[in-house]
A and B are shown apart, each in its own frame.
Chain A
Amino acid sequence: MIDSSNVPQVATDETLARYILHSSHIRGSDRSVKPDAFIPHPYTDLSVTRHLLASESELWGVGERVAEVRSKMLYGRADFSAADCVVRRLNVEAAPLHDNPNHANIRGWPAEKPLQKIIAQQVAAAATFVEPPLTP
């Protein structure tokens, strides 16, 4: 994970993860992620975790904590590039948390719902859905 005392700015070539905590955000047909998972509400920014310097097990550990704190099931994560946000005029800003130095926020979303939807749709189109590893 990133050293919490030295958190770098998010580079455009970084991979980000959005944890999926609701089954309706995954398509049953091809196990891809729906744009619904990227709509920023109730906040004006979208919470993600950077892959930078994180191992797979660390990424899943963060996801499990995110789900556990909320008493939800972790269905998986959507991996996508920060560049997919930047080209749509969104900003990805490092926002380290005490238990997740890799935390970041995607900011700059338009207020209008149709614009949010088309951006979320394009980010979702570029994202890869990753299922959690099977626990023994």
Chain B
Amino acid sequence: MSTGLMTRGFSDAARYVEREARQGWRKLNESNAFGIESTRGQLGAVWNECRQADWDGFGALPVSEDTLRNADQFLDSLPLGCPAPSVGAEPDGQLTLEWHRGPRRTLSVSVTPDGYLHYAALVGLNRSYGTEAFFGEVPEEILRLVQRIYAA
């Protein structure tokens, strides 16, 4: 599963193509039953609540704009039809995107300000965890775990 939207070009034409493709992608996603627009709303709301230090009362770090931008781009990069995650925040200032169907069918992805994705999943008796760099496309391993969470 991949959006295939990233052009990786640096010319004006490449940037134009990428911008148009992204706008088209957003329109498609808005019209999709599994659209992520409500998740994007959650993202803004959680960021607003957590952008000041000590937002949890236990000394949490603030969630930075870079983290918000990366999380927003991650949402943009989800394939069409991908179930929408719920949004949260961790006390180290990272935003979380979670796909959850039960205590043993759950995936949490932490988005960092410097473009890394830390993930952990429980699927039945199995557990998976690790770190992936985020270069504008959702890593295959994370997509594979989302599929496993929602497998019949």
A34 to B96, Cβ gap below 8 A?
Answer: yes
Query: How far is it, in angstroms, between the C-alpha of A22 and the C-alpha of B87 when the chains are bound?
Result: 13
User: Cβ of B100: which chain A residues have Cβ within 8 Å of it?
Assistant: 27, 29
Interface of A (DSSP majority class): helix
Query: Which of B59, B104, B108, B130 touches A35 (beta carbons < 8 Å)?
Result: B108
Is A47 at the interface (CB under 8 A from chain B)? yes
User: Which B residues touch A126, using CB under 8 A?
Assistant: 103
Interface size on B, as a range, is 35 or more
Instruction: Determine how close the nearest CB of chain A comes to the CB of B5; give it in whole angstroms.
Output: 27
Interface string of A70-104 (1 = CB under 8 A from B): 11100000000000000000000000000000000
By the criterion CB–CB under 8 Å, are B61 and A125 in contact?
no
Q: Counting chain A CB atoms within 10 Å of each CB, which of B55, B91, B92 scores highest?
A: B91
Q: Is the CB of A42 within 8 A of B60?
A: yes
For the complex, what is the distance from the CA of A28 to the CA of B92, rounded to whole Å?
22
Q: How far is A39 from B118 in the complex, measured between Cα atoms in Å?
A: 13
Contact residues in B for A67 (Cβ distance below 8 Å): 57
A-B contact count (CB 8 A): 99
- Is the pair A121, B106 in contact by a Cβ cutoff of 8 Å? yes
A122 to B5, CA, bound (A): 35
Q: Contacting A22 at CB < 8 Å: which of B55, B118, B119?
A: B55
Closest to A34 in B: B88
B112 to chain A: closest CB distance in Å? 8
Interface residues of A (CB under 8 A from B): 21-25, 27-29, 32, 34-36, 39-43, 47, 66-67, 69-72, 113-115, 117-118, 120-122, 124-126
- Residues of chain A within 8 A of B87, CB atoms compared: 24
Task: Tell me whether B39 is interfacial, beta carbon within 8 Å.
Answer: no
| Residues of A contacting B108 in the complex (Cβ-Cβ under 8 angstroms) | 34-36, 117, 121
B109 to chain A, nearest CB (A): 9
For the complex with contacts A34-B98, A121-B121, 19 further pairs of A-B residues with Cβ separation under 8 Å are A22-B56, A22-B89, A24-B49, A25-B88, A27-B86, A28-B86, A29-B100, A32-B103, A35-B108, A36-B96, A41-B60, A42-B92, A72-B56, A113-B118, A117-B110, A117-B120, A118-B120, A121-B122, A124-B103
Within 8 A of A (CB), among B38-95: 46, 49-50, 54-61, 86-92, 94
Could you jot down 10 A-B contacts, CB within 8 Å?
A21-B56, A21-B57, A22-B55, A23-B49, A24-B89, A41-B59, A47-B58, A113-B94, A121-B106, A122-B127
